[in-house]
Chains A and B, each alone.
Chain A
Amino acid sequence: MSRTHLGMPSFPPFPEAAGAAVHNATLRANLRHATHTIRDRRAVAVAELADWDRLREAGRQIKDHTLRHLDRYLEQLESAVTAAGGTVHWAADADDANRIVADLVKATGEREVVKVKSMATQEIGLNEALAAEGVSVYETDLAELIVQLGDDRPSHILVPAIHRNRGEIRDIFRAEMGNWGRAARDGLTDDPADLAEAARLHLREKFLRARVAVSGANFMVAETGTLIVFESEGNGRMCLTLPETLISVVGIEKTVPTWRDLEVFLQTLPRSSTAERMNPYTSMWTGTTDGDGPRAFHLVLLDNGRTEVLADATGRQALRCIRCSACLNVCPVYERAGGHAYGSVYPGPIGAILTPQLRGIQSEIDASLPYASTLCGACYEVCPVAIDIPEVLLHLREGVAAQGGKGHRMEKAAITAAGWVLNRPGALAAGEKLLTATRALHPKSPPGAGAWTGGRELPELPARSFRDWWRRNRR
């Protein structure tokens, strides 16, 4: 498989990073509070709709249909965008996309761009690529601003600064805003309204000055060439309307055939992500319009591994994802490990199935991600496009086990040996007898059991097995 990078350097395997994060009390408290709040609100918002299950099924079908005929819809989209005055660029991988965007920005003569929050541009590491070309990039989503000012990494798809509390945010604003533009006022408090006002003043300066904006998109309508961005703060609307040039970098799987298909996602996405009945700012644009909004519009269609995911009959359902984050908010592993442990811009359950498919399973972090789940199924239950995440995790685990990397050779030997016994009831009964007869001699922590006995006792073995009891008492 190929290996596209997802815009981040190398990371330790998940168990190591998560094991450290678990002991960070502030992080645990921040994550627990935030995920439980959004989780509970989402449950209420979803329960309001009597036809939720049918909406979910409709969303699944629309996405599956589009993915099945993606070649056709992408060409239709390209024609529609071009006819509406936009220019379409095709990017096979991250380097391609970064080069296209950098060239487009440089051609305007500008050295600054404002950005709408976008997963695709994080995936390809666009900010770093543009910085290397001497272009300053300003994130304008509040949480992305916090991450950027804090020289930090996003840890959640929808709420990138979920790992920060307001005290930490106040400190970052105080220390860093002045280095990037308008400084925070003296005596800034951690009151949410005060923090929002500081961000508003800081960002307004950027919006009014910027002549180039970069965005992603939540959906692209093939029949009309319309792009749609869902956001909650209005920063997206500013970026999409004020600058002269708009460059949108969008994964090819974001296509839907018709406007009518949006009806489903306009209901399921806000309720799943922010637990809102209706999305606060939904911006839709089709090419360019004289005297209204950007005069130049470029659409960069990003593959970056997606075509290979599409070729996998089980794994391709991950491409249905509409980036709502409901699976992160409900995941007990994410809640304790935090987003950074996943070593990718896509954390949580969806990240555990998307990242190893986009990047391959060669590295330690990527091979560890399919195991970063108890298979509890809470993610699948809340997914608004019915991605069976446990099914894909199991599928990816087969690939990792077959690859036989670090730790998996010993594991395979142990499982094969156990399988020999388990396939011979006589040998199993003899083994059980031996174990129960010698139980007084067993050490409390036998060699190799450290991962279990580090925080747990082993169960006490019974005097005899069930099999043995049955033989004596029933037959």
Chain B
Amino acid sequence: MTMTPPAPGAPVVYQDPVRLALSRRRARRNAWVGMGSLVGFTVVISLLVSRSPGWPIVQETFFSREEFIDSFPGLLTAFMLNVKIFLIAEPLILIFSLVIALTRTLRSPIFLPLRVLATLYVDIFRGVPTILVIFLLGFGVPALRLQGVPNSPVFWGTAALVLSYTAYVAEVFRAGIGSVHPSQRMAARSLGLSVLQTNRYVVLPQAIRNVIPPLLNDFISLQKDTALVAVLGPIEVLRQAQIDASSTFNYTPYVGAALIFIALTIPMTRFADWVQARMARRQRAGSIA
């Protein structure tokens, strides 16, 4: 079959059929080679592992089928508490951290106390390990036996996560605000918009868009860190796994808990990657703005 190429300057996309066939063949071959290499590699590794002398005991201790079937439903139920902690903590973190970040950008001297407070807060809670904050609040506050203050470990665990993560996320927002080019602020001010209006309509929408990938990253981190609340005793997924494991001396429940976390974080990670890639594409397309 022969094809005549279109006339020079014709408004079409044209590729020589011979070249096209060649590049298709090459792509197919690359796909097969990649697949074959991956399968071969997997087979070799699994053979090496399963043939090694210690494998049966490792398998029995960490990957026991019966233990898994026994413990998994209980783990899933317990995981609902992690989900609840996450769903309560995340919106609070977003709101508080945005307020903190905005406070740190205030320039008027009358706001100096607020600015100092916000800076101190971020410095302190970024410096203290999250688990220490959880100990401090979760064990410390109930020990005060204050009237009308909740004693629930879930409450104080969640509060500690919010305090700790707000400091981090505030810094993410602050970086986002800093990433908006000063000429945008200038353009808005030159049109007569006040400082407040400039922030609300011009700076913040761009700032938030710029920090969506790192924000998603912090979400993922928070999902995992809900397990830290286990140290206070509520039956969330890690604590449940610990109870199961200590009654049988089999560690499969820990692996089950790990699988549950992975099942949630992998989609989130892929989503974050996808958002990041999409934004990078848009950025290239809009490089003049």
The answer to whether A and B belong to the same complex is: no
Which residues in B have some Cβ–Cβ distance to A below 8 Å? none
Which residues in A have some Cβ–Cβ distance to B below 8 Å? none
